[in-house]
Structure 1
Amino acid sequence: MDNENNKSNHEKLDQNQSQQSNNSHSDDFLEQKKSDSENLISENPANEILEQSAEEAPKEILPVTEKKKKNPYKIAFFSLGGIILLGGASYLGYQYYKNHQVEPIVENVCLDTDTKIYDAYKDAVVMVKHKYAFFAKIKGKEVQLNIPEASEETLFGTAFFIDKKGNMISNSHVLQPWNSPENIDKINTDAANIRRKIASILTTDTSEDGYETFIASNWGNASSEYNEEGGYHDGDNEEEEGGEEFINSNEAVVDTTATSDDIAASIPQKNYVSEDEIEVYMKTVDISVALHNSAEEWLPCTIEKISEDSTVDLGVLQLATKETPNTVVNIINLDNAVTDDQTLKPGEKAVMIGYPLGEDLAQTISGIKVQLYNGQISKESDGTKIQYSVTSTNGASGSPVFNNCGQLIAVNFSGLEKVQGYNFGIIAKKIYSVYPVIAGEVKPSTE
């Protein structure tokens, strides 16, 4: 029994010693581990520590990623909404483009409504703004006159493109208003009076560069009436009583110390420019056109041709660029015009596209807009002009007039001011009397 107890005690003692030994080894291992870790941290640079942190980071945000994956319906909902919005915008844009797109005209196709005619040719019809004034050429020097009788004037009209080289047809009285039958006599009379007045004040000692200023400054002393000596200088008699006060820096100073007997001799004698050396006329200052739907963008032009026949109120205007804008899809093709005016019968439709009253009617908050007016042919052609009942007024001169199929039949040029609805146009075939010079084309005789 005692031997068994002793044996048991010895076994327990051995176990305790073994545990202590194991604990001692474990402590040594932990200390060694701690020491190795400290050495590892001290030996690793900062970037290696950051790399370890970066490697551990995904483990921390993993729950967030898993959460997003649990909500796929949100992504699908917003994606579907974006597709619907994009599709709707594309559809509306296409419909707007389709409704506002000008289609090229198919040859020999009848445009059987006013709306189709308007849509086809609205961009080809432009508003003309013509500024003109009196000029004087004195001894070969040209100056614009800035006097009450010769203030600058502005006229509005209409023109239309007939090719891709920027050529347009309008009325000659729009391009040269001073030569129109109703104006020419008055203009010539005014020019003659202005010429005489200039001759009554302009002295030969005035420099060429000072002509414009001298004439404007001394215009109050000018006269167009003959005096008893047969000249225009009715200030000559006033000179004997003290002299006419011209504003001229070149004028000599009167010798006030001279005796009374020599007063007349001391007054400087003015020599005037001869009327034969003066020419007065009207001339274009600026001429330009504005396109339909433009925001008052005026395109400069040149006058290329005026009809030599006073009964044919037509002329050719051309853009300075010599290129028709790309926005003009359809020019008004003369090859499709009605050249047999005897086929135009009273009662048939007449459609005019133009700019009556110029800017007053054309200007809108969204730009310049051309207008359409319709009526019917009221009188047969006389070989040069045709009459129709289309409402019109100043500014519509030069507008194209079409039949019911959209073929050009005339160019509007006049009306009765006292009675609306009676207007006249130059028949389309007369355009060839002015256009071949510009187009370089040989057209058959229209006589």
Structure 2
Amino acid sequence: MNNEKNEPDNSLDSQSSGEQSQQHYDFSQSPNSLSENSKIDSVENISLAEETNQVTLPAETKKKNPYKIAFYGLGAVVILGSVAFFGYKYMKPKVTPAAINQCLDTDTKVYDAYKNAVVLIKHQYGYFVKINGKEFQLTVPEAAVQTIYGTGFFVDTEGSLITNSHVLQPWNSNEKENEKIQTNISNMKMKIASILTTDINEDGFESFILRNWENASAYDEESSYVENDLESEENAGEEFVSSSEYQTDTAIAATDIAASIQQKEYISEENIEVYMKTIEISVALHDSNEEWLSCDIAKLADDKNIDLGILQLRDKKTPESVANIIDLNNAITEDQSLKPGEKAIMIGYPLGVDLAQTNTGIKVQLYNGQISKESDGNKIQYSITSTHGASGAPVFNKCGQLIAVNFSGVDEIQGFNFGIVAKQIHTIFKN
């Protein structure tokens, strides 16, 4: 009975479907009724396709091409990978120092936080001359260009670096070295005065001195005394026959020769100034391939007991690779709180480029030890291994707070090194 009643309804549905050329499903129907309707629709679709010489499968029976899926999947991976790479390289957020102003706990964390902020400094300097206001560099053998290495670290986003003053002015580094340099300067002034005449044009000073340097002479009391002494020994025991007539003839001849020689006027030593000066000073970043960035000396400490100075990049912009500058506001300024036995960590470039250079670029190094003596207000002593090149390196406590700037040590024995306490930085650098 129920089937008979349903048949008229199905007939009506078929007619309605034919008129509207589309199928509507009633999800309130029973599964059996829905299945029967689907079979009828499939037969109608196949018949219609045969009439047009095309075989069309229902949408439910179409198969997806696996090669297209793989191709589109691979393309999506490449696109996402490219976006991730360039997004990290060019759009990565810059970590601010505030994010790490907490105890870093380990040497490795301190190193990772500040390795990019510590730079290798290369300083080239030489002898310069100023004569009557004309300045030029001396290139004679005694005035060879000198190169030293040191360490510095960024303290702001404007390219400012803290280091030692003796890295920036090595000719004033110690009394013994300064005495040697002053002797060289004095000798050079006398040699220049012995060959440079007033008729030489100022533009030709440099080339004239270089060409005639072998003929220059400097007064040396010790060698002069030796020469006179040797002459007296050679003449001892010899007998000379002299006559007033011979002496008169010789004197007249000498006078005539002197009168025939054209007299030249030489530039006075008082008008010659010789001094040492920076030729080029630059820095290289950790992980760089000896890409040197030019700098200028911004300031030196007035107090000779405070071995600190400021460098600044010429473009006045701290590189983007420096994720964290060394925050002076987070430094330990109460130096009396630093006690012997507490940990000290140094990041720097001992031995300069010789030790820093690797097959994959310049690498900064980490060394640690302990504070071994209380601060005297200017400097503090620690047992960190150090040598030339590490001058200007930052020294941290176990939490990564700046406590000192490394500046000296004992060459003969390792483990006795000193740093200028961090509070003294504020005497030359104002935030």
**TM-score, scaled relative to structure 2:** 0.72
What's 2:320 paired with?
A: 326
Determine whether 1:209 maps to 2:219: no
User: Which secondary structure state, in structure 1, belongs to the residue aligned with residue 167 of structure 2?
Assistant: helix
What's 1:397 paired with?
A: 391
**Aligned-partner Cα distance in 1 for 2:115–2:93:** 12
**TM-score, scaled relative to structure 1:** 0.70
User: Which secondary structure state, in structure 1, belongs to the residue aligned with residue 66 of structure 2?
Assistant: helix
Determine whether 1:224 maps to 2:218: yes
**Aligned-partner Cα distance in 1 for 2:310–2:114:** 19
Return the match for 1:161 from 151, 154, 157: 154
Return the match for 1:387 from 376, 381, 397: 381
Return the match for 1:276 from 262, 265, 270: 270
**Aligned-partner Cα distance in 1 for 2:178–2:220:** 24
1:226 Cα shift?
A: 6.2
1:76 Cα shift?
A: 3.2
Change (3 A) 1:199 1:84: closer
**RMSD between superposed Cα atoms in Å:** 2.9
Where do 1:19-418 residues align within 5 Å?
72-80=65-73, 103-105=95-97, 106=99, 108-181=101-174, 182-225=176-219, 262-418=256-412
**Aligned-partner Cα distance in 2 for 1:84–1:316:** 48
Change (3 A) 1:70 1:435: closer
1:209 Cα shift?
A: 1.0
Change (3 A) 1:126 1:263: same
Q: Is the 8 A contact 1:102 1:120 kept in 2?
A: no
Instruction: Say which is worse superposed, 346-355 or 322-331, in terms of deviation.
Output: 322-331
1:160 Cα shift?
A: 0.6
Q: Is the 8 A contact 1:103 1:120 kept in 2?
A: no
**Aligned-partner Cα distance in 2 for 1:347–1:101:** 38
1:134 Cα shift?
A: 0.5
| Per-residue deviation, residues 2-33 of structure 1 (Å, max 9, x unmatched) | xxxxxxxxxxxxxxxxxxxxxxxxxxxxxxxx
**Aligned-partner Cα distance in 1 for 2:329–2:342:** 21
**Aligned-partner Cα distance in 2 for 1:102–1:113:** 23
What's 1:240 paired with?
A: none
| Per-residue deviation, residues 40-64 of structure 1 (Å, max 9, x unmatched) | xxxxxxxxxxxxxxxxxxxxxx99x
Q: Is the 8 A contact 1:102 1:119 kept in 2?
A: no
1:80 Cα shift?
A: 4.7
Q: Is the 8 A contact 1:386 1:425 kept in 2?
A: yes
Change (3 A) 1:90 1:320: closer
**Aligned-partner Cα distance in 1 for 2:379–2:134:** 41
Q: Which AA in structure 2 matches 1:173?
A: H
Change (3 A) 1:408 1:146: same
1:185 Cα shift?
A: 1.6
**Aligned-partner Cα distance in 1 for 2:276–2:121:** 18
**Aligned-partner Cα distance in 1 for 2:255–2:418:** 72
1:101 Cα shift?
A: 9.3
1:421 Cα shift?
A: 2.1
| Per-residue deviation, residues 336-368 of structure 1 (Å, max 9, x unmatched) | 000111111111111111111111111122221
**Aligned-partner Cα distance in 2 for 1:76–1:322:** 52
Structure 2: runs of 5+ lacking an equivalent? 1-53, 56-61, 225-252
**Aligned-partner Cα distance in 1 for 2:77–2:129:** 70
Q: Which AA in structure 2 matches 1:114?
A: D
**Aligned-partner Cα distance in 1 for 2:415–2:350:** 13
Q: Which AA in structure 2 matches 1:134?
A: Y
**Aligned-partner Cα distance in 2 for 1:81–1:325:** 36
**Aligned-partner Cα distance in 2 for 1:131–1:196:** 25
**Aligned-partner Cα distance in 2 for 1:418–1:342:** 29
Structure 1: runs of 5+ lacking an equivalent? 1-61, 64-68, 231-258, 440-447
| Per-residue deviation, residues 96-121 of structure 1 (Å, max 9, x unmatched) | 98xx9984442641111111111111
User: Which secondary structure state, in structure 1, belongs to the residue aligned with residue 277 of structure 2?
Assistant: strand
Change (3 A) 1:288 1:71: same
**Aligned-partner Cα distance in 1 for 2:198–2:124:** 31
**Aligned-partner Cα distance in 2 for 1:175–1:77:** 62
What's 1:43 paired with?
A: none
1:200 Cα shift?
A: 1.5
**Aligned-partner Cα distance in 2 for 1:392–1:357:** 9
